[in-house]
């Protein structure tokens, strides 16, 4: 793929007619589609009963979603270079809307999974599209503020997914999680077809089929492998865990070698990793996503299986943390524009680590306010990290690599989220199973397993504190 700088405008939103409206539409649309990543987690027990499927089968509603995103995201760099922004947006929201309708009306479980897959195609396109548009429209000194808004989409949408799910399931059936979203998606599609402007100039480039195949094998293997580790801990897995992990690792190695050899024709331009600020920042983004998704899967289990809360109560306990992250994101973005990343990222990493170590004290006697407080503290720490890291990573790249950088960041987020979920669930399951086999009551055994998993999270977060000290203000370079 060529890397000639496209003749795209780079200006503040106010200097291009309708730019603020365009960004607002993209942010709102991205929030809706990203929310669906975690919205099904609380509904799994009800779906297992209605469709008469075991947990290992029901989990495909999440696994298939992540797998699809991991396969599609790597080609978004090509799509955003080759096609007009409006065409990509319409394709994304059309796919998401069709998938939502299929899921809402699914008479059988396979069709529900199919709907989730079609949804995921649209979701995979939206995040790189949003980031690339902002980087092309917003001048560097205002990007922190705008990326703070993006952080709301990246971090808050998954965080409040279980809350939204709990609220809907309290009064309505699981199908309403799709019926409520569908008109919003259709409205976004209609507005986008009218409002979305082509802020980049499409270029005629060819896609390398070998790279697409290798990326699909690599990222699907690296997503499916970790996702199946938790199942293997209980003795249920479709294939041995090592097979998708080995296939994914070998395909990834082949993908990297091929991208280097292709040079300007690469599907994903790996020259972004030659920029030190990008590499450090994206590494910390991955660690942060591991912590976020790991705790998002553990805390609902702890609240329901150990403290005995209902799905609605569980959602409400997790709500303050998600709201805190959302309220802080714009504030952190403005602060980034003034002081740069390090004064925000280093304290944020420390606060996140303190919260995760605090969560290791959770047991059968922990009060609900304590859980809320720890989750809010962790959310504050992550809010201090996400916006500066995203802006540092992508703001350090030259314009011709924006689409590739955003695609790589989005891909690593999915892989890191799956890895964090797999790590926490695997450690929890093995420790809880061991304790239960030794005669420990089930509730206490579950609490032990969650404690063990959160210790791993604390160790990872401690390492992140050290890496955070290396973050610098982004300085764009030419390649």
- Per-residue pLDDT reduced to its tens digit, 371-425: 999 999 998 998 898 888 888 887 788 877 777 787 788 778 777 877 777 778 7
Give the pLDDT score at 163: 75
Q: What is the mean pLDDT of residues 44-54?
A: 79
Report the C-alpha gap between 269 and 465 in whole angstroms.
29
Give the pLDDT score at 116: 92
For the cut 60, the answer to whether the pLDDT of residue 177 exceeds it is yes
Give the pLDDT score at 90: 92
Report the C-alpha gap between 164 and 180 in whole angstroms.
11
Give the pLDDT score at 4: 34
Give the pLDDT score at 322: 79
For the cut 60, the answer to whether the pLDDT of residue 9 exceeds it is no
Give the pLDDT score at 369: 92
* Alpha-carbon distances of 475 from 286, 389, 394, 471, rounded to whole Å: 21, 13, 10, 12
Q: What is the mean pLDDT of residues 163-175?
A: 82
Q: Evaluate the CA torsion angle 273, 279, 285, 291 in order and state its sign.
A: positive
N-terminal to C-terminal alpha carbon distance within the chain: 14
More confident residue, 468 or 45: 468
For the cut 50, the answer to whether the pLDDT of residue 5 exceeds it is no
For the cut 90, the answer to whether the pLDDT of residue 253 exceeds it is yes
Give the pLDDT score at 232: 59
């Amino acid at each position: 793929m060529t890397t000639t700088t496209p003749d795209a405008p780079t200006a503040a939103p106010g200097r291009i007619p309708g730019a603020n409206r365009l960004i607002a539409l993209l942010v709102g649309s991205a929030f809706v589609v990203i929310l669906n990543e975690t919205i099904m987690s609380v509904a799994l027990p009800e779906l297992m009963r209605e469709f008469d499927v075991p947990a290992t089968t029901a989990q495909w509603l999440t696994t298939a979603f992540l797998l699809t995103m991991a396969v599609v995201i790597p080609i978004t760099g090509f799509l955003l270079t080759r096609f007009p922004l409006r065409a990509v947006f319409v394709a994304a929201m059309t796919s998401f809307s069709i998938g939502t309708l299929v899921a809402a009306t699914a008479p059988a479980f396979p069709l529900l999974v199919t709907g989730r897959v079609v949804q995921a195609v649209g979701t995979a396109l939206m995040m790189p599209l949003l980031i690339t548009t902002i980087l092309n429209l917003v001048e560097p000194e205002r990007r922190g503020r705008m990326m703070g808004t993006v952080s709301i989409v990246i971090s808050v949408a998954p965080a409040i997914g279980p809350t939204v799910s709990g609220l809907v399931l309290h009064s309505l059936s699981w199908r309403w999680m799709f019926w409520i979203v569908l008109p919003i998606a259709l409205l976004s599609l209609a507005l986008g077809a009218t409002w979305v402007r082509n802020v980049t100039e499409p270029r005629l480039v060819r896609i390398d089929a070998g790279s697409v195949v290798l990326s699909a094998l690599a990222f699907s293997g690296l997503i499916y492998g970790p996702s199946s580790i938790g199942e293997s801990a209980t003795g249920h897995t479709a294939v041995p865990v090592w097979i998708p992990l080995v296939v994914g690792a070998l395909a990834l190695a082949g993908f990297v070698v091929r991208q280097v050899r292709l040079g300007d024709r690469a599907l994903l331009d790996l020259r972004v990793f030659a920029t030190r600020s990008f590499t450090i920042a994206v590494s910390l983004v991955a660690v942060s996503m591991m912590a976020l998704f790991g705790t998002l899967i553990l805390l609902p289990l702890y609240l329901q299986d150990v403290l005995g809360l209902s799905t609605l109560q569980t959602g409400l306990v997790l709500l303050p943390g998600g709201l805190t992250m959302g309220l802080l994101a714009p504030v952190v973005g403005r602060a980034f524009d003034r002081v740069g990343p390090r004064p925000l990222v280093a304290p944020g990493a420390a606060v996140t680590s303190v919260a995760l170590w605090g969560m290791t004290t959770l047991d059968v006697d922990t009060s609900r306010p304590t859980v809320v407080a720890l989750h809010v503290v962790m959310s504050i720490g992550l809010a201090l990290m996400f916006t500066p890291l995203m802006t540092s990573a992508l703001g350090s790249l030259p314009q011709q690599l924006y689409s590739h950088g955003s695609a790589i960041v989005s891909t690593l987020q999915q892989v890191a989220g799956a890895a964090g979920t797999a790590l926490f669930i695997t450690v929890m399951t093995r420790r809880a199973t061991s304790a239960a086999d030794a005669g420990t009551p089930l509730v206490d055994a579950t609490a032990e397993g969650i404690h063990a998993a959160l210790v791993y999270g604390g160790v990872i977060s401690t390492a992140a504190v050290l890496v955070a000290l290396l973050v610098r203000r982004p300085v764009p370079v030419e390649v």
